[in-house]
Amino acid sequence: TSAALIYVGILMLQGLKRIDFDDMDQMVPVALMLIGMPISGSIGHAIGLGLISYTIMKLFSGKAKEVSVLTYAISALFLVKFFLAV
């Protein structure tokens, strides 16, 4: 099973080619997700961290209209999950 996990990890990293690392709105959420996965041991928590940071970055950079209502809703749910987790 470890070979399959390594293969899936390589497939996931291939998406990094399309990230504009000069754009902080894209770079910060991706970096937090990449750091968050091994630290938390959870892909779901890392995705939540990335979504929350993406939403916050767009809000504070004046690009709030670029974020969909669904992204705001999912980010809010992740915030509730993280703050209510014991």
**Is 55 exposed, middle or buried (CB count within 10 Å of its CB: 0-12, 13-18, 19+)?**
buried
Per-residue pLDDT tens for 15-36?
888 888 888 888 999 999 989 9
Low-confidence ranges of the chain (pLDDT < 70): 1, 86
C-beta of residue 21 within 8 angstroms of C-beta of residue 41 = no
Averaged confidence pLDDT in the chain: 89
What's the whole-model pTM score?
0.81
Q: Where are the domains of the chain?
A: 19-84
